[in-house]
Amino acid sequence: MTRTRKHKVGPHEMLVNKVQPTSAGLMPQYPLCTPDRWGLRHSDADPERRGQLMYPVARDYARAIQNVLVKQVQWGKAYFGPSGTVPALTLRWPLNRDSIRELFLLIRPVIAAALTDPAAGFGIPADAVPVNMGLAVPLAHAPGQQGVFTPNDWSLILNVEQLAPMFRIDAVVAADSGNQATQLGALKMFADTLYHEARHCQQWFWMYALVQQYPDNFETLPNIAKWPAAVSGGEQPELGRRKFEQAPAMIALTARQAIPSEPTALASLKRMAIGMYVYTLNIWRHDKNGYRPAYLPDVATLEHEFQRARALAKELLQNVGMGGTPIDIDEMVAEPSRCYYDYTARPWENDAFVCGDMASAYWDAELGLALRTYPADQCSHAYELADRARRLEFRLPGATDTEGGQ
């Protein structure tokens, strides 16, 4: 007789579902991934579009950030606001520290409102919104990186080069210009990236809360409750970077912040937490400076913890990949990732890409374009396109299947 598997999820004990078609009980017409419908990704039935979902937090964010970036800021010679209005801020390229600070005085309240939105109960406290938020040139080892949320210092930094195209527009632009959507493309991508990275902040906050408040959800990994302090508690040296007090404060805040008890959201967080934990352990395993957290003081204990975490991740993520397929744990944790597919397949990245996609969808809708939102359990376009590219690569003459086996 087959044993029915159960898992503790927050205060609940849940059966492990068999692979299902879609959330509507239909054969999928799109790439299928597990839904993570909480916080910035909260969705509900759209009363104006039958059978479609609306994403109210993403909608309100897109409307507000577009108002700031389009109507309140002049980008060099280009201003897209209504005729007769005066921009609150005029920027010149290259952006200096003062202009970046002034820009984020306008931007920060918008992303803070989205992060703290109480919809579905997973807004984060205002004290958890990153204080260190701004723009920077990406590091040499990650030249294409559009943005990053870093839990070590609780910072959210975007690539300043994303905004460079706005300063190459050589005239004041009429608000009703036929090619306005195209000219605003760089701002749309900037808004998408900001929402994507903010989702990572929200993910880390609630993962920290779950592992500290419900360590029994990870029975084979009692040390996981010490993980937040090792990452954000100031224990790990950050060479060349100033430490901010906000990161250590997140440990105490997440330990006491009430976690909403919605079971499917908690299951989502548990999957992300085990995936991110094994990912972090793997980074420590390969740290060139030999860093070890205090609770894993030598190579042997770190390796033992990694193998236990890897085993649990294999179990929890066996139906989380595209179409209900297993996530390849070894490829998921590889850094740098072997290819774009492995990066987009990470549960936390697929989720953040979906969030960014929905912000972009509502950005387009605000410009009068068709609104296209995802079903709750659709994979992100990034994951879908990476999967297609990988499949095509394997079909080409001479291609070699390099997928890791589990």
pLDDT the model gives residue 5: 59
Percentage above 70 pLDDT, the chain: 84
User: How far, CA to CA in Å, does 81 sit from each of 7, 74, 242, 287?
Assistant: 53, 8, 38, 49
Token readout for 118 is: 């109480």
Beta bridge pairs of residue 14: 7
Pairing of strands 155-159, 132-136: parallel
Per-position b or e across 226-241, b if 16+ CB within 10 A of its CB: bbbbbbbbbebeeeee
Please state, in angstroms and rounded to a whole number, the distance separating the CA atoms of residues 264 and 266.
5
Res 126 pLDDT > 50: yes
Question: With contact defined as beta carbons under 8 Å apart, do 191 and 66 qualify?
Answer: yes
246 domain-assigned: no
Q: Averaged over 4-28, what is the pLDDT?
A: 59
Predicted pLDDT at 13: 75
pLDDT the model gives residue 395: 66
Residue 115 lies inside a defined structural domain of this protein: yes
Say how far apart CA 378 and CA 351 lie, in whole Å: 10
Range with the largest mean pLDDT of 29-38, 88-97, 174-183, 329-338: 88-97
Q: Tell how strand 89-91 and strand 12-15 pair up.
A: unpaired
Lowest mean pLDDT, pick from 74-83, 174-183, 344-353: 174-183
247 in a structural domain: no
Residue 49 identity:
R
Q: Is pLDDT of 130 > 80?
A: yes
Q: Which among 312, 322, 324, 314 is positioned nearest to 345, based on CA atoms?
A: 322
Angle at 129 between CA 127 and CA 130, to 5 degrees: 115
Residues 115/129, Cβ–Cβ less than 8 Å = yes
pLDDT band at 27 (very low <50, low <70, confident <90, very high): very low
Res 233: pLDDT: 81
Give the list of residues 6+ apart from residue 140 with CB closer than 8 angstroms, or none.
none
Tokens of residue 62, six digits: 């897109």
In a domain, 360, yes or no: yes
- Residue 318 domain-assigned (yes or no): yes
Q: How far is CA 177 from the centre of its chain?
A: 33
CB distance 312 to 221 below 8 Å? yes
Structural domains in the chain (count): 1
User: DSSP assignment, residue 175?
Assistant: T
Instruction: Give the per-residue pLDDT at 140.
Output: 64
Pairing relationship of beta strands 53-54 and 132-136 according to DSSP bridges: unpaired
> In angstroms, rounded to a whole number, what is the distance separating the alpha carbons of residues 128 and 237?
22
Q: Is 206 inside any structural domain?
A: yes
Q: What is the pLDDT of the chain when averaged over all its residues?
A: 87
Q: Is 84 inside any structural domain?
A: yes
Distances from the Cα of 279 to the Cα of 136, 170, 247, 343, angstroms = 25, 45, 20, 12
Q: Quote the domain boundaries for residue 98.
A: 6-235+260-395
pLDDT winner (highest mean) among 95-104, 371-380, 383-392: 95-104
Within a domain: 70: yes
Please say if the pLDDT value at position 2 is more than 60.
no
* Rounded Cα–Cα distance for residues 355 and 350 (Å): 9
Predicted TM-score (pTM) of this structure: 0.90
Kind and range of the H or E run holding 53: strand 53-54
In this prediction, residues 360-373 reach a mean pLDDT of 96
- Residue 154 pLDDT > 50, yes or no? yes
- Model pLDDT, residue 283: 95
Percent of the chain beyond pLDDT 90? 68
Q: Mean pLDDT over residues 140-156, rounded?
A: 86
